[in-house]
Structure 1
Amino acid sequence: MSRKVLITGGTGMIGTRLAEMLIDGGYEVALLSRTPGNNRYPSFRWEPLAGTIDEAAIPYADYIINLAGSSVSDGKWTQERKREILSSRLAGTQLLAQELRKGAHHVRAFVSASAIGIYGDRDDQVLTEDTLPAADDFLANVCKQWESAAEYVRQDGIRTAIMRIGIVLSPEGGALVPLARTVKLMAGAPLGSGKQFMSWIHLDDLCRLFIHALEDDQWNGLYNAVAPNPVTNKEFTETLAEVLHRPLVLPKVPEFGLKLMMGEMSEIVLASQRVSAAKVLGKGFQFEYPKLKPALESFYGQEK
């Protein structure tokens, strides 16, 4: 049985690691890319915003993993940037749905990214896949439209799993890099009240979740891709400082300071999201890093 996986967004932080783990697991991998020649893996060209895609791409795939979308944490959220954050997710997902509708393919499953940003700022409420999305919140609106676009694939009878990804921990990118940098410079401090919940996941666990969702026909619908032990921002900062062997010398970074520095994007670090992993645990998924300290030690354990 052939095991070919087509990945969009395959050169990003998650896609890069996921491709390696798929290859290790005996899969073949190809990427959908706007710059096909520059990749480690065979790639097909697409231009989501122009609505063009190599005709050979979809027929190649047994599975599709859809990660494409420009980073929400690169640069301030100007109107232009916000349009790009939305369109880079929507256009690609809609184009895939449209191509899959043509029918000449053998795709067995479609696994698409979303984010816990869909829940908005929810204090200490425990958030499950059934919790209603936040109203009137930029990231929540992006995620809602992104998920709706993926729903079209399911309506065509292809098994579809949508992963609401938490804060991905990796020393290669994402939120951990600037946080670790400030702690190393002895400038680390809880952000805002420090009481807001951070629902995180180790990059390797996230990739294993995606692979699990590909392989198991029972995975359908929405899943929170977070570790089972969310922590407050204060706990996160203290644990990171402990693992990096640095003292935390500063008081809290005030909310207004963050808003000044980051603008609307500050909601990524200020919003409180206490997200439940009960559904993926119920599916029998086992986390390699269910607790924060060992997850951080896997990256920084050698640093003295």
Structure 2
Amino acid sequence: MKILVTGATGLVGKELVSLLLQNGISVHYLTTSKRKIEGEPHYQGFYWNPETGVIDENCLLGVDAIVHLAGASIAKRWTKANKQEILESRIFTSNLLYKALKDNPNTVKQIISASAIGIYPSSYETIYTEEETKVSASFLGTVTEKWEESVDAFHRLNIKVCKLRIGIVLSENGGALTQMAKPIKSGIGAPFGNGKQMQSWIHIHDLAAIFLFAIQNQWNGVFNAVAPHPVTNEELTKSIAKTIDKDIYLPGIPKFVMQAILGEMHILLYESQQVSSQKVLDNGFQFKYKILEKALDDLLKKEAL
């Protein structure tokens, strides 16, 4: 089996590529840097430039499925220019892949695209399943909706489309957990606001495994890629502190403080999304890290020693 991966050098991409290779699956990957093109027996890079519409069509040779992870990070101040980049980096890449598949003979049967639980409106009460039709009015909600629409186009090529709506990814190599742990280690950690906002998370090991499982089982449709037990922001903060043997002394950080620091992006810290993973479970996937404490112990235990 051969898989084409976009965003292969990102946080999730690296974990996924490693897992694919461990399972004897060959990987083609697309990169915007010609210096990052490698040519190993089961790991081959190809150049593309989504802004100019350039792609090496050889990337499709022998490929059974595409995993689409490419997209500019949302974790930077949402200036007008950055907002445009966040949106266009997702739409342009999807459109270029679509054109390449439409214009070239290929064996691709499925595309699995990253998406985000940020598509769901903020709510303290609602438990969101994949059947939810309401879309968050936030910038991230708009981006995710357009992102998914761009991927839905692949149905027209008789390709199965699987969209994985990803929660907060917990990893020791960067991302949300690293940023949350920093102030806690320094003794200035605190929940955000009242700390009651629900946060749906997933261990990066399980996330990569869901992508592989989706490929192996030809998943089609929307799936929430989150662990079965979401927690409140306060629970997450205190669990991180407990794992690294630190105390939380400070009260919740008011919204206006983070708004002054982060601008519009501050809403990411205060929105509440309790997201169900029941569909993933019903389709046979088994989580290694269902419980937050087990996930944190695995990711932070070296630092806690």
> What TM-score does the superposition give when structure 1 sets the normalisation length?
0.96
Matched-pair contact (CA < 8 Å) for 2:118–2:136: no
Partner of 2:257 in structure 1? 257
Secondary structure in 2 matching 1:151: helix
C-alpha distance in 2 between matches for 1:133 and 1:171: 33
Could you list the per-position Cα deviations for residues 182-224 of structure 1 after superposition, in whole angstroms to 9, with x for gaps in the alignment? 111111110112000000000010000000000103x111000
Secondary structure in 1 matching 2:57: coil
Partner of 2:83 in structure 1? 82
Partner of 1:38 in structure 2? 36
Partner of 1:187 in structure 2? 188
Partner of 1:157 in structure 2? 158
The structure 2 residue matched to 1:65, chosen from 61, 64, 67, is 67
| Percent of residue pairs bearing the same amino acid type | 40
Matched-pair contact (CA < 8 Å) for 1:37–1:43: no
Deviates more, 1:173-182 or 1:52-61: 52-61
Matched-pair contact (CA < 8 Å) for 1:133–1:140: no
Equivalences for residues 151-300 of structure 1 within 5 A: 151-217=152-218, 219-300=219-300
C-alpha distance in 2 between matches for 1:37 and 1:65: 22
The structure 1 residue matched to 2:55, chosen from 38, 43, 53, is 53
C-alpha distance in 1 between matches for 2:129 and 2:104: 34
Partner of 1:124 in structure 2? 125
Specify whether residues 53 and 84 from structure 1 end up closer, same or farther in structure 2 by C-alpha distance, changes over 3 A only. Answer: same
Could you list the per-position Cα deviations for residues 5-63 of structure 1 after superposition, in whole angstroms to 9, with x for gaps in the alignment? 11000010000110001000110112101013325542111011111101211234221
Matched-pair contact (CA < 8 Å) for 1:183–1:248: yes
Amino acid at match of 2:224: N
Matched-pair contact (CA < 8 Å) for 2:57–2:104: no
Partner of 1:141 in structure 2? 142
Runs of 4 or more off by more than 6 Å in structure 1? none
The alignment's C-alpha RMSD in Å is 1.2
C-alpha distance in 2 between matches for 1:280 and 1:11: 26
Partner of 2:23 in structure 1? 25
Partner of 2:3 in structure 1? 5
> What TM-score does the superposition give when structure 2 sets the normalisation length?
0.96
Amino acid at match of 2:279: K
Secondary structure in 1 matching 2:89: helix
Secondary structure in 2 matching 1:71: coil
